[in-house]
Amino acid sequence: MQVAPPDFDRMFGALADATRRDIVRRAIDAEEGVAELAGYYSMSFAAVQKHIAVLERAGLVTKERVGRRKVVCTNLEGLRIARRLLDQYEELWRGRVVRMSALISDETKEPPR
């Protein structure tokens, strides 16, 4: 079975919104349904549903039916994938900073007399 690579643009686009980040945080325990989550925000139920749909398409949450409720669950593996990409960028930039610091240090040393 071929697994599609993560869509990082969709993932980070979804996380760019404060409400969606809060939904991901609240859904980690997977105890609240869509209706309960909607109660936290000063927006319509439909708007919260749209936020959840964006997170679902990005692979950051799932919904599962528990009785009559649709419970929203954070996809921890989706968050781990995003974290690994950020870790790679951090490693890249830390290496660049070290190399720039070394260059600056070499340039500020006095030339031998």
Angstrom distance (rounded) from CA 34 to CA 70: 6
CB atoms within 10 A of CB 111: 4
Residue range(s) defining the domain that contains residue 94: 8-108
In a domain, 2, yes or no: no
Q: What is the pLDDT of residues 10-47, one digit of tens each?
A: 999 999 999 999 999 999 988 889 999 999 999 999 99
- Locate the DSSP E strands across the chain: 61-66, 69-74
In a domain, 29, yes or no: yes
More confidently predicted of 36 and 1: 36
- pTM of the predicted protein model: 0.76
Count up the domains in the chain and report the number.
Answer: 1
In a domain, 113, yes or no: no
Percent of the chain with pLDDT over 70: 92
Q: What is the pLDDT of residues 52-64, one digit of tens each?
A: 999 999 999 999 9
CATH code of the domain covering residue 22: 1.10.10.10
In a domain, 66, yes or no: yes
